[in-house]
Amino acid sequence: MKPVSMIIAGAANPHVRNYYGGLAMGNCPVKTLAISDHDPERLQYAKDFFANSGMEISFYGDWREMYEKHPEAESVMVGTDNIHHFEATREAIMRSKHIYSMKVISMNEGECEELIRLRNQKKIVFEVELELHFSAQYRHIKEAVQSGKLGEIKSIYLTNVSQSPCNYFPNWGDPELSYGKTIPIKAGSSVCRGGGLTDHPHPFDLIHWVTGLEFKKVFAVSSRNQRAHLKVEDHVAITGELEGDVKFFINPSYSNLEENVAKRVLIWPKSLEVNLKVTGSKGYMATDYFDKPLYVVGKNHISPNRLIVDGMGKTAIGGCNGALDCFAKAVRGMRDVESSAEDGLRAVKVMNAAYESIYNNKAVYL
């Protein structure tokens, strides 16, 4: 398969850096032509990373200039701050570029719908980075659910928690850049939308992807931040119902404390977690993407008074990156995208319903 040529519009989303290693590999299904970022430090990081790769990559301080200079590019990875996703994506689609978008597409549902309309008009491929679809763990649990092995699904529990990225990536703590505008989490609150809930769309996508069920009722709460300096919420708890009266609980929070340092240091035993538990009439299954079970044992244990970490590697499916491999094959007409713009919009609708529930202190029906 001929590699798909790509330009990268922004590295404000820290996941963009995660792709650099794969993009620098000789067998990657995507060929990188150029990278842009308005932030000099992020752009310099990209320059340094690819300096000895042997690849001919151009670098720009503005994605608009990059678009003009590279009409030959077949696709665009959109990794700007969320507030700029719509503009950067819309312009790329109007130029008939295929889109690989960091999540979320936009927290503005109208903007998501407009981009889907333009995608249909231009007949381009549009994949959203909901990369947990490529995890062997979740594919296994999806098969168990949809094959009926667990029987009738009764409840789902999903925690997608992490350290706060706002020390390392201050833009993620800016309500405007993250959520797209400044909206208090509650009336009169100095804390605004754009934190843990905006940062963690996986639960709202995974639950639908695993079960095939739509969200019907959402009730969410958020109290005083653990981190008093943050302008965005650092924790949310969400309950509700799916189709068929299936109950769910979601925790998309910055629950794990981080070191107060400028560079990201994931030194805690379990700094990140995507823990899915499904209970059915015939059985129960659970999995965590980061696979680091923790055990705190007391004085009567054979190894007394210890914190035990069972660390196992996470497992992905695909080429240099499962999602990019899928995207390239979709562009070449070999398969459909794994996570579509519609999947991204569906998640955003539930996330906004949770924000509305917090603000009004009542359940929201979808």
Please report whether residue 214 resides in a domain.
yes
311 in the same domain as 196: yes
| Domain boundary pick from 95, 124, 153 | 124
Per-residue pLDDT, 271: 76
- At residue 290 the predicted structure's pLDDT band, cuts being 50, 70 and 90, is confident
Of 235 and 315, the structure prediction assigns the larger pLDDT to 235
Q: Which domain holds residue 227?
A: 135-318+347-365
143 in the same domain as 86: no
Q: Provide the H-helix boundaries in the chain.
A: 15-23, 40-50, 63-69, 82-94, 109-122, 136-146, 175-179, 196-199, 202-211, 322-331, 341-360
The CATH number assigned to the domain holding 189 equals 3.30.360.10
Report, as an integer, the average pLDDT of 255-276: 77
192 in the same domain as 120: no
173-207 tens-digit pLDDT: 999 999 999 999 999 999 999 999 999 999 999 99
- At residue 318 the predicted structure's pLDDT band, cuts being 50, 70 and 90, is very low
C-alpha distance from residue 200 to each of 89, 103, 149, 196 (Å): 21, 9, 29, 6
279 pLDDT more than 70: yes
Closest among 98, 102, 88 to 125, alpha carbons compared: 98
Please report whether residue 340 resides in a domain.
no
Report, as an integer, the average pLDDT of 123-135: 94
Tokens at 174, concatenated: 């800016």
- At residue 6 the predicted structure's pLDDT band, cuts being 50, 70 and 90, is very high
Please report whether residue 329 resides in a domain.
no
261 in the same domain as 117: no
The single-letter code of the amino acid at 336 is D
305 in the same domain as 199: yes
The count of domains in the chain is 2
Per-residue pLDDT, 169: 86
Please report whether residue 327 resides in a domain.
no
| Domain boundary pick from 73, 101, 124 | 124
Indicate the DSSP class of residue 166. Answer: T
Compute the mean pLDDT over every residue in the chain, rounded to the nearest whole number: 92
Per-residue pLDDT, 320: 54
Please report whether residue 328 resides in a domain.
no
Per-residue pLDDT, 267: 62
62-91 tens-digit pLDDT: 999 999 999 999 999 999 999 999 999 999
154 in the same domain as 80: no
The CATH number assigned to the domain holding 112 equals 3.40.50.720
Q: Which string of b and e fits 18-48 if b means at least 16 CB within 10 Å?
A: ebbebbbeeebbbbbbbbbbbeeebbebbee
- At residue 299 the predicted structure's pLDDT band, cuts being 50, 70 and 90, is confident
Q: What is the pTM of this model?
A: 0.92
